[in-house]
Amino acid sequence: MLNWAATFFIIAIVAAVLGFTSIAGSAIEIAKILFVVFLILSVVIFIFGRARTV
């Protein structure tokens, strides 16, 4: 998930440099959403993973 967020961030940077502002804006929004989903899943897995070992 984090790899996909980084990929869309790189796409946004390249698109911004080349002048494709609408593509860059869309790519950065997708990257933000994927990063937030990654953080939420990481916290959930950390909490429930700890609960199982006890």
The pLDDT tens digits of the residues spanning 13-29 come to: 999 999 998 988 998 89
pLDDT at 54: 55
Amino acid 30 reads: I
> What residues contact 31, with CB distance under 8 A and at least 6 apart?
5, 6, 8, 9, 12
pTM equals 0.74
Mean pLDDT value of segment 2-21:
88
Amino acid 6 reads: A
Placement of tokens 């429930």 in the chain: 48
Q: pLDDT tens digits, residue range 27-45?
A: 889 989 999 999 999 999 8
